[in-house]
Amino acid sequence: MDISILAHVGVHEAGWLASAREGFLHPILGWDHLIAMIGIGLVSHRAGHALVVRVPAIFVACLCLGAAIGMNGYELAGLESVIATSVFVLALSCMAGTSGPAWALLFATAVFGTAHGIAHGLEVPLASHPVPYVIGFCTASALAHLTGIGISLTLNRYTSERVQPVGFAAIGAGLCAAAVTMVFAA
Question: What value does the mean pLDDT take over residues 131-141?
Answer: 92
The sign of the torsion formed by the CA atoms of 132, 61, 25, 72 equals positive
**Per-residue confidence (pLDDT) for residue 68, from 0 to 100:** 92
pLDDT at 147 over 70: yes
Q: What is the mean pLDDT of the chain?
A: 83
86/107 Cα distance (integer angstroms)? 12
Residue 10 pLDDT level (bands cut at 50, 70, 90)? very low
> What is the signed CA dihedral for 61, 62, 68, 69, rounded to 10 degrees?
170
pTM score: 0.83
pLDDT tens digits along 56-114:
999 999 999 999 999 888 888 888 888 888 888 888 888 777 767 889 889 999 999 99
Question: What value does the mean pLDDT take over residues 10-32?
Answer: 78
Core vs surface per residue 141-172: b (16+ CB within 10 A) or e: bbebbeebbebbeebeeeeeeeebeebbeebb
Give the residue from 139, 73, 145, 77 showing the smallest Cα distance to 109: 145
Length of the chain: 186
Residues 6 or more apart from 139 whose CB is under 8 A from it? 24
Residue 6 pLDDT level (bands cut at 50, 70, 90)? very low
Please give the share of the chain, as a percent, with pLDDT higher than 90: 30
Question: What value does the mean pLDDT take over residues 129-133?
Answer: 88
